[in-house]
Amino acid sequence: MLKWTKNEVVYQLYPQSFYDTNGDGIGDIEGITTKLDYLKSLGVGAIWICPMYDSPNRDNGYDVRNYDKLQICYGTDEQFDEMVAEAHKRNIKIIMDLVLNHTSNENPWFLQSSSSRTNDKADWYIWRDGKPDGTPPTNWGAIFGGSAWTYCQQRNQYYLHTFSPYQPDLNWQCDELKNALFAMVNRWIDRGVDGFRLDAINFIAKDLSPIVDGEINVGEYADIYPFVANKPDAHKYLAELKAATFARGCLTVGEASSATVSDALLFANELDMIFQFEHVAMDIAEDWNVKPVDIVKLKKSFAKWQNGLFGRAWNALFWENHDQPRIVTRMGDENELRESSAKMLATCMYFMQGTPFIYQGQELGMINTRFYSKNEIRDIEVRNAWTKYVDGGLLSEKEFLKRISRRSRDTARTPMCWSDGKNAGFTDGTPWIKINDKYKQINVAEQSSRSDSVLNYYKALFALRAKLSVVVDGAFKLIDEQNAHVIAYERKNVEQTIAVVCNMTAQRLSFIDERLQRGKILLTNIENNYLADGILAPYQSIVIDLES
Ligand code: NOJ
Ligand code: CA
């Protein structure tokens, strides 16, 4: 196991869309091994790989059928071990995705649990009787749509699923289940894995006694979050999990949607860091719509998390992942200013305190893939929404496709664009999901050969970051907090003070600050005279050393 440090960068890859080596149209383990040198050249210290376990793929691997078996299309055990060894040779850690809140409904554990009320695994999932009127135990809605309960004839009971019916929730109150999970995690550690990203980990404890209905504000179902998210027992279970497994020395990051700063401080007892989503939820509107981000609100959120965790916990810094649309589409410019905006957004995020996570393609300033018909869509969440909105007559097909091209998870799940060749150099076969239409302009080959590319900027940014101790341990303070166009902050430790200034708009702006203008530029995405005239170019970002 490799030891992790606080100044390294994690690269997230979506295995089915990273690189295909055998022409079946699906990325594979061999493809990851092949590209390790690319990742090394970026300055990456660890890779987080989305689930590669055996799965019916109802939710792209987040429905695990067998935790101990790799999905056949990804490759063999030998190829996996070779990938780990090759990564370690390059000092790159391997972080696996662990899905411990739920399994697939095809997992043998669930098949057994659902077969009767008396079998050995009867309590491994969450079973309840329906209401006397024949409806589910509660009115909670599942995150991917519909009721959170599904009826099972064999038991004449319902099982709980926070996500889809294909993802029944595990019962962490059951000791045998917990022990089975712990043993499985240890087997992966024994195989050389260095850490884990824990999927939906803040959902593992639920409010079930007494079990009550929620309040319905809109639609048919009540919000499930108050009953299943960030419950105190989650910490009890995680402490047990840690003692039995991660305490051996793993890097851990938990996914904790809707977690508050106080939740994060509690999770810090059990995990190295969590992903919280406040900053990437600000453009989300009802009915798959988007709205503009309020910059003042965004920077206040940054400050809240930076200061709230300072000295007590550790942030995970990210803009993108496989559940998020591309950040350039959300907050930058997709056209002439694409590269400046991509570089600015990177600067804005990655000089804060925490571990930087980047998602494949982000280092190219990739933009959302667009979808023009139903058969291009793969995501279960969107397919369910199609039934509700299009089949249900709420939105036209055209309008729905427009909205999901802005907001759906598939927008960033399409293959990595390696070159301007066939299928963006991702596969010789037929890709499992469409290729981003922009691959001829935005790809690794083109950006590697050009010194001012987004890719080379990311490399420079990570190299600079690695040299500055202030980025690791400096205190955080916003500059000009009420400014609605610029995000600026300083970081300060005993050695140094740096300032980061980001023009979040497509306009030229004046940002006069003598203290900044007396400093020395460490990094900028646009060469100009900011120090002399205080003028920021559209989407300009500058990192300034204030003490030299
Ligand atoms: C969060 C994962 O990132 C997402 O892709 C998945 O659908 C849900 N958890 C359920 O596992
Ligand atoms: Ca393949």
Ligand minimally distant from the alpha carbon of residue 429: 2
User: Band of the pLDDT at 3, cuts 50, 70, 90?
Assistant: confident
- pLDDT computed for residue 217 by the predictor: 87
Closest CA to 309 of 352, 364, 340, 341: 352
Structure confidence by residue, pLDDT tens digits, 183-198:
999 999 999 999 999 9
pLDDT tens-digit map of 479-497: 999 999 999 999 999 999 9
Point out the ligand 1 atom lying closest to the alpha carbon of residue 50: 3
Ligand 1: distance of its center to the CA of 76 in Å? 24
Q: Which residue has the tokens 């987080």?
A: 48
The percent of the chain in helix, strand and coil, each rounded to the nearest 5, is: 35, 20, 45
Three-state SS for 130-172 is CCCCCCCCCCEECCCCCECEEEECCCCEEEECCCCCCCCEECC
Please write the tens of the pLDDT for every residue from 381-413: 999 999 999 999 999 999 999 999 999 999 999
- Of the chain, the percentage scoring pLDDT greater than 70 comes to 100
- Which residues are within 8 A (CB) of 228 and not within 5 positions of it... i.e. 6 or more apart? 140, 162, 203, 205, 206, 207
Mean pLDDT over 234-250 rounds to 97
**Amino acid symbol at 98:** L
Q: Which protein residue's CA is at the shortest distance from atom 11 of ligand 1?
A: 62
| pLDDT over 70 (residue 278) | yes
Average pLDDT, the chain: 97
SS3 of 205, please?
coil
pLDDT at 548: 57
Catalytic option among 8, 255, 339, 410: 255
Which tokens belong to 85? 């060894």
Strand pairing class (53-54; 486-492): unpaired
DSSP state of 101: S
Q: Output the residue whose Cα is nearest ligand 1's atom 10.
A: 62
For residue 244, the SS3 value is helix
Residues 471/465, Cβ–Cβ less than 8 Å: yes
Contact 257, 284 (CB under 8 A): no
Indicate the top mutation candidate among 53, 60, 62 to test ligand 1's pocket, ranked by most ligand atoms within 8 A of CB: 62
Q: What is the pLDDT of residues 279-307, one digit of tens each?
A: 999 999 999 999 999 999 999 999 999 99
Ligand 1 centroid, distance to 191 Cα (angstroms): 24
pLDDT tens per residue, range 130-154: 999 999 999 999 999 999 999 999 9
pLDDT score for 547? 77
Give, using CA atoms, the residue closest to atom 2 of ligand 1.
Answer: 199
Tokens found for residue 150: 């599904």
| CA-based nearest residue to 390, from 382, 400, 381, 380 | 400
Burial category of 424 from C-beta neighbours within 10 Å (exposed 0-12, middle 13-18, buried 19 and up)? buried
Ligand 1 atom closest to the CA of 99, numbered from 1: 11
Annotation says 255 is catalytic: yes
Q: Which ligand is nearest to the CA of 59?
A: 1
120 is catalytic: no
Q: How far away, in angstroms, is 167 Cα from ligand 2 center?
A: 25
Residue 225: the pLDDT is 97
415-460 tens-digit pLDDT: 999 999 999 999 999 999 999 999 999 999 999 999 999 999 999 9
Catalytic annotation, pick one of 28, 63, 199, 272: 199
Q: Which ligand is nearest to the CA of 64?
A: 1
Among 369, 450, 439, 467, smallest CA distance to 410 is for 369
For residue 163, which atom of ligand 1 is closest to its CA? Answer: 10
Report which ligand 1 atom has the smallest distance to the Cα of 255.
Answer: 1
Judged against a pLDDT cut of 70, whether residue 9 lies above it is answered with yes
Report the residue among 199, 276, 379 best suited for mutation to probe ligand 1: largest number of ligand atoms under 8 A from its CB.
199
Nearest CA to ligand 1 atom 6: 62
Query: How many Cβ atoms from other residues are within 10 Å of residue 455's Cβ?
Result: 23
Q: Which atom of ligand 1 is nearest to the CA of 409?
A: 5
Model confidence at 466, in pLDDT bands (50, 70, 90)?
Answer: very high
Q: Which one, of 447, 363, 362, lies nearest residue 413 by Cα?
A: 362
Q: How many A from CA of 34 to the centre of ligand 2?
A: 12
Cis peptide, bond prior to residue 431, ω within 30 of zero: no
Residue where the block lists tokens 């965004």: 298
Give the Å distance between the CA of 492 and the centre of ligand 1: 36
Q: How far is the CA of 411 from the centre of ligand 1 (A)?
A: 15
Q: Which ligand is nearest to the CA of 201?
A: 1
Residues within 6 Å of ligand 1 by CB: 59, 62, 99, 163, 199-200, 255, 322-323
Q: Is 194 helix (H, G, I), strand (E, B) or coil?
A: coil
Question: Separation of 426 CA from ligand 2 center, angstroms?
Answer: 10
